[in-house]
Structures are given as C-alpha cells and as structure tokens.
Amino acid sequence: MINSFLMIGQSNMAGRGYLSDVKPIYNEQIKMLINGRWQTMTEPINFDRPTAGISLAALFAAAWQADNEQEQIGLIPCAEGGSSLDDWSADGALFEHATFLTKMAQRTSTLRGILWHQGENDSFAGRSNEYLDKLALLVDQLRRLLASPAIPFIAGGLGTYLSSGRYSHYFAEYENVNQALLTFAQETPNCYFVSANGLTANADGLHFDARSQRLFGIRYYDAFQTKRHVLAPLRDEKERVKRLEERPLTKAESTALLEISFARGEISLPELEERLARI
C-alpha cells in the first residue's frame, strides 16, 4: 500500500526551482499520481504552468522514504500557481479537482498528510486579516471530505525575500500571513508550521530557488515526523539534504533515467546502448 500526501497551495508548492540547479531525485519507491494512476516520480511533479520546476515535495518524499525503506510514498500534485485562498473555497474548481484526485488515490493508498504552501496572493488589500478564518474553514472541509479528521497538515511560511524584489509591492502583508499560518498551526490539532527563514528566491524575487526548495522539504518532513513546528532553520538540514540527494541509484533506476534521456533526444541511440551496457 502506498502512503500518500496531497500537495496543495500556489506556485511555491507546485515548485518553480530551476531543474538544472540541483541533482534530480529518482527513486522507484517514490510515486506521483498522474491521470489517476501512480508512476515513478520525476520533477517537475506538479505541472500547473510551463514554469513548473523543483518543489519541496520531492525532498520531503525522499526523506520519508529513507525512514520507511520497505514502503512506498505517493504524491498527489494539485497546487495551482497564483491561487488565492478564495480560489480554494470548497465550492470552487481547485477544491473539487484536488478532492476528486485524492479520493481516487485513497483507493490504492493511505492518505498520510497534506502539504500546504500558499499566501502570496493573500498578502495585499487587507486579505491577510481574513487568512486565519478562511484557512481554518478550508482545512476543516478538506479533512471532513477526505474522511481523515486528524490528517496532519503541514504549512510553510512565506519567504522573507518577499519584502524586496521586482514584485514586492504586491506583498505588503506577507508577515501577517505568516503570523496567521503560525497561529492556525498552534491552535489546530495535527497542524504544523514550517519557517522559511533563510531561504532564498529566484531572480524574480517571488519563488523559492531549487536549493531552498530542497531545504524546505527537509523542514516539512521534520515537522511531519517530529509532530512539532519548525520555527527556525534545522541545524543539520544541509547535510540531510545532501545525504538524500546522493542516494545511489539502483540498476533499474539508472536504466529508466537513460531511457528517459534517450526519449527526450538528449542522447543518441548508440550512446544509450553503450551506457546501458555499462550499468
């Protein structure tokens, strides 16, 4: 049985880290739900936009799998770039789509948690004042609809880099949103807050870079596993990420990655065959 996690929120949950900035994570015990079926996870996982890239969920999954070696983990990618909390209301398309896919996934997996990152689009025009109440309602509705009343809900903070950069005028209230996320997590059973302190952005000043998404992933996992808020960077987070990224591939995984490179036109047929022979 697969252990599944729902990914919801906006662009920083979908992931915008550049693929070329980090070592890929490829592990046949880590799956993602595509077209209602499980397949081995590759990045980008959550293809909501042509800009989709590295998300925190891949490293989260790698950390979970390393601690549960005999089991499989499956991600359910439903995050949507640019979405506000109102876009996630229970009568809207995003909620309906995410709960439909999660219910499909629940037939072949046990739902273990919900990974949430959202709030940039509620950081202006007074929206942050309503964040706490709206999020509480959403989590309550999700838990009821998925028949998982105590399912862990992990919510990461917004990047402190939002106070500067090309689009910073859109995010005047981001600290209020972070406070609402923390308060909500402190007040609600099985909800945990994860600090984004120290994490950095792409050149757009909007999106966590790939390296930061990897660090965020280990923080999310730490919150999930220890059932505690992560209020500051973890002391050993860089080493933990490095260890997970450097996991040796199995023969089957090396073969699969070569077949993908060939199918994408990145290596020629003779090169494929020569490299397959060396595995």
Q: What is the binding site for its own copies (CB under 8 A)?
A: 16, 18, 34-37, 39, 42, 47-51, 53, 78-80, 93-94, 96-98, 100, 104, 166, 202-204, 206-207, 260, 262-265, 268-269
Q: Helix, strand, or coil here: 230?
A: strand
CA dist 267 and 275 (Å) reads: 10
**Least distance (Å) between residue 86 CB and its own copies:** 13
101 or 191: whose CB is closer to its own copies? 101
137 or 267: whose CB is closer to its own copies? 267
85 or 132: whose CB is closer to its own copies? 85
**Least distance (Å) between residue 113 CB and its own copies:** 20
What residue ranges in 125-269 does DSSP mark as E strands? Answer: 153-156, 191-194
Burial (Cβ within 10 Å: 0-12, 13-18, ≥19) of residue 102: buried
11 or 123: whose CB is closer to its own copies? 11
211 or 243: whose CB is closer to its own copies? 211
167 or 231: whose CB is closer to its own copies? 167
**Least distance (Å) between residue 87 CB and its own copies:** 9
**Least distance (Å) between residue 100 CB and its own copies:** 6
Q: Distances from the Cα of 173 to the Cαs of 13, 168, 242, in angstroms?
A: 20, 10, 34
**Least distance (Å) between residue 53 CB and its own copies:** 8
β-pair type (37-40, 30-34): antiparallel
**Least distance (Å) between residue 42 CB and its own copies:** 4
HSE of 104 in the Cβ direction (CA atoms, 13 Å)? Answer: 17
**Least distance (Å) between residue 151 CB and its own copies:** 21
Closest CA to 173 of 192, 185, 158, 188: 158
Q: Name the helix (H) or strand (E) containing 114.
A: strand 109-117
**Least distance (Å) between residue 25 CB and its own copies:** 12
Strand order in the sheet with 37-40: 37-40, 30-34, 72-77, 2-9, 109-117, 153-156, 191-194
236 or 273: whose CB is closer to its own copies? 273
Is residue 77 within 8 A of residue 60, CB to CB? The reply is no
Peptide bond into 44 cis (omega under 30): yes
37 or 242: whose CB is closer to its own copies? 37
